[in-house]
């Protein structure tokens, strides 16, 4: 029997080093560094406008960083288009779900699936969210908000990504659906996917995560093990309003 020696330090699932990014009119991220260890869940917290969505879009490749490095499992993603990053195992579930409203649930799942696996995708999606089973022929735009979010999340089960980026998955959903979404994230993570999670439910995000970063005005202002973060301190100091200032 051969003994496999593991490299002593596995590269992080995701590593950002001094990333600057933003829009034509304005730089939003001003040198962000963060790490998502292999198979871990990391929470990204921050007030409205702090730059959380901009950060996830930059990692996914929808905005190209103007400076700094982004690497997945040690391999730089610089210059790669979103679909190439996706093929390499990076799955991004945007706020607002990013599903095709005028296509059926089945068609959406087929598009999420690696080619040749369209049928399997339907089975896996139903395994993840049984409520989708009876909705396959329905237009995605006519699903309830919770069902739409399940459809969007299902791809994280179907493609088994190396890294999952989730932006505000629980926004506007009933508590029972929010529970289902968080349970789902646990199961995805247990299958080996590393998760970078943005969610308005700070306490739930901290429960799920092993580590957390707080972003304020495009800079990381706090980082530490999730268990050591005092939620009310963080809310008071950084999450109160759009500027992160008190008042
Ligand atoms: N397409 C855009 N063009 C120009 N500025 C933008 C664009 N999208 C976002 N911004 C600005 O970038 C900053 C960061 O926005 P971003 O959406 O990343 O924040 P966020 O932390 O996700 O906030 P929220 O919690 O409200 O979702 C804000 O000042 C926002 O107005
Ligand atoms: Mg956002």
| pTM to 2 decimal places | 0.92
Residue 1 lies in a domain: no
The atom number, within ligand 1, closest to the CA of 51 reads: 18
Residue 2 lies in a domain: no
Residue of 97, 27, 91, 39 whose CA lies nearest to 60: 91
124 shares its domain with 231: no
Cβ(20)–Cβ(58) under 8 Å? no
Per-residue pLDDT tens over the stretch 53-100: 999 999 999 999 999 999 999 999 999 999 999 999 999 999 988 899
The atom number, within ligand 1, closest to the CA of 57 reads: 18
Instruction: Output 63 or 3, whichever has higher pLDDT.
Output: 63
Residue 36 confidence (pLDDT) = 98
Q: In this structure, which residue's CA is closest to atom 28 in ligand 1?
A: 49
84 shares its domain with 138: no
Name the helix (H) or strand (E) containing 119. helix 118-128
Residue of 158, 160, 157, 162 whose CA lies nearest to 12: 162
CA 226 – ligand 2 centroid, Å: 21
CATH code where residue 50 lies: 3.40.50.300
CA 51 – ligand 2 centroid, Å: 7
Report percent pLDDT > 70 for the chain.
94
Q: In this structure, which residue's CA is closest to atom 6 in ligand 1?
A: 23
79 shares its domain with 169: yes
Secondary structure class of 191 (helix, strand, coil)? coil
Residue 7 confidence (pLDDT) = 60
Residue 5 lies in a domain: no
110 shares its domain with 229: no
Which residue among 21, 23, 201 is best mutated to probe the pocket of ligand 1, counting the most ligand atoms within 8 A of its Cβ? Answer: 23
Candidate from 17-26, 83-92, 225-234 with smallest mean pLDDT = 225-234
Per-residue pLDDT tens over the stretch 187-201: 999 999 999 999 999
**What domain range includes position 186?**
11-89+161-247
Residue that is written with structure tokens 């309003």 in the block: 241
Distance of CA 26 to the CA centre of its chain: 24
């Amino acid at each position: 029997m051969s003994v496999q020696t593991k490299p002593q330090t596995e590269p992080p699932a995701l590593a950002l080093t001094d990333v600057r990014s933003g829009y034509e009119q304005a730089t939003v991220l001003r040198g962000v560094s963060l790490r998502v260890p292999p198979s871990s869940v990391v929470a990204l917290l921050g007030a409205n406008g702090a730059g959380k969505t901009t950060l996830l879009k930059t990692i996914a490749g929808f905005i190209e960083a103007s400076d700094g490095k982004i690497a997945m499992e040690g391999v730089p993603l610089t210059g790669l288009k979103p679909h190439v990053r996706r093929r390499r195992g990076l799955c991004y579930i945007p706020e607002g779900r990013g599903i095709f409203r005028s296509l059926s649930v089945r068609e959406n799942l087929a598009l999420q699936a690696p080619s040749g696996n369209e049928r399997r995708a339907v089975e896996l999606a139903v395994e993840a969210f049984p409520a989708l089973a009876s909705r396959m022929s329905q237009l995605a735009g006519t699903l309830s908000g919770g069902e739409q979010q399940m459809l969007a999340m299902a791809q994280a089960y179907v493609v088994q990504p190396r890294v999952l980026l989730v932006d505000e998955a629980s926004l506007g959903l009933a508590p029972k659906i929010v529970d289902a979404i968080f349970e789902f994230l646990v199961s995805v993570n247990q299958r080996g996917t590393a998760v970078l999670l943005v969610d308005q439910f700070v306490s739930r995000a901290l429960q799920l995560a092993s580590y957390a970063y707080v972003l304020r005005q495009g800079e990381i202002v706090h980082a530490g093990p999730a268990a050591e973060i005092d939620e009310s301190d963080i809310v008071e100091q950084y999450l109160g309003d759009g500027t992160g200032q008190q008042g």
